[in-house]
Amino acid sequence: MRTRSGRAWAAMAALCAALMMSFGFAPQATAAPAWPVMSNGSSGPDVGAAQYLLRSHGHDIAADGAFGPGTENATRAFQESKGYAADGVIGAETWPGLVVTVREGNSGDAVAAAQTVLNKHGYGLAVDGQFGPGTASAARSFQSEQGLEADGIVGPQTWQHLLGQGGSGGGDHSLPIARDALSRDHYGAPHHDYPALDLPVGTGTPVYAVDSGVANQINNDRCGLGYEVAADNGATYYFCHFSAHGVGSGTRVGPGAQLGLSGNTGNSTGPHLHIEIVAGGANRCPQPYLQAIYDGSNPPGVGDLPTSGCIE
């Protein structure tokens, strides 16, 4: 009964939101988007920007777009220096202290951070840390597109719009397991029968959503406890053999959201995480996709992933 009333409430809330949108009185039309949340295993331009910003605060880390243990340690040190909760996760509390206002004439890592996120929105700037006329014009163009004052200064509000929205690439991705837990080779290992991937992790390891979408629980003989995530990119991701579910069915998850804990349930001969990516009606090889995320580069489109070549 609790579940039913919860669903009813969610349905009502969704209806209200839909009505508000159709009548055009959303609470704040110009409200800033939510800050992204990222942690060990996340990758993409927002991670690269966070790394440049950490550098600008004196933390000597690589700005490679892949959130690993070095970035996590730097994040904790930064959080401690600010009196924030030192959880190593960059979210709504950490971002406002991390961003640095930059404008034409400035140079350095904070400028490189701004250029990195402007490029996420398609501006194609050289990430050279020099805030010249090209970067200023990109900033003004982005601001006017967002209904912000087009002054070309990247301040807190512009940062939040730059970071909180996906841009053309659709936002960041996450590895399914913390980046330091497995090597790159693990993400390239062939599967034993059909296109899929088995990751050797012990029972109780946190498992994260790779891309944003809606998660539904699985509980059957084959997958055991797991999740089917209908992703916003059109693919369906399957995660199998968990020891515990972490989120309810119908939960909207972002990349890096914890789904549950890995385990050995279902048709499994030892603790591991099984992952499938289904796109265009076919099982795709997750290997090139996850290795790109591991590398901090943009993964190929899910529909372009191969359907063979990842079976041993």
Q: Which residues bind Zn ion (CB under 5 A)?
A: 198, 274
CB of 227 to Zn ion, least distance (A): 15
CB of 134 to Zn ion, least distance (A): 48
CB 41 within 8 A of CB 296: no
CB of 241 to Zn ion, least distance (A): 8
DSSP state of 254: -
Instruction: Please say which residue, 66 or 197, places its beta carbon nearer to Zn ion.
Output: 197
Question: What is the C-alpha to C-alpha distance for residues 72 and 140, in angstroms, rounded to an integer?
Answer: 32
Question: What is the C-alpha to C-alpha distance for residues 95 and 35, in angstroms, rounded to an integer?
Answer: 7
Instruction: Please say which residue, 209 or 240, places its beta carbon nearer to Zn ion.
Output: 240
C-alpha distance across the termini of the chain, in Å: 47
Residue with tokens 């349930």: 265
User: Following CA atoms 74, 77, 82, 84 in sequence, which dihedral angle do they give, to the nearest 10 degrees?
Assistant: 90
CB of 193 to Zn ion, least distance (A): 8
What residue is closest to Zn ion based on CB? 274
Query: By C-alpha distance, which of 40, 125, 174, 44 is closest to 114?
Result: 125
Instruction: Please say which residue, 60 or 312, places its beta carbon nearer to Zn ion.
Output: 312
CB of 238 to Zn ion, least distance (A): 10
C-alpha pair distances (Å), 194 with each of 4, 46, 275: 38, 33, 11
C-alpha pair distances (Å), 285 with each of 89, 171, 291, 306, 309: 29, 21, 11, 6, 8
Instruction: Please say which residue, 159 or 237, places its beta carbon nearer to Zn ion.
Output: 237
CB of 273 to Zn ion, least distance (A): 9
CB of 198 to Zn ion, least distance (A): 4
CB of 308 to Zn ion, least distance (A): 16
Instruction: Please say which residue, 179 or 241, places its beta carbon nearer to Zn ion.
Output: 241
Instruction: Please say which residue, 46 or 198, places its beta carbon nearer to Zn ion.
Output: 198
Query: By C-alpha distance, which of 195, 198, 203, 178 is closest to 187?
Result: 198
Instruction: Please say which residue, 28 or 269, places its beta carbon nearer to Zn ion.
Output: 269
Tokens of 123: 């501006």
User: Following CA atoms 142, 143, 144, 145 in sequence, which dihedral angle do they give, to the nearest 10 degrees?
Assistant: 50
Instruction: Please say which residue, 172 or 198, places its beta carbon nearer to Zn ion.
Output: 198
The number of beta carbons lying within 10 Å of the beta carbon of residue 93 is 15
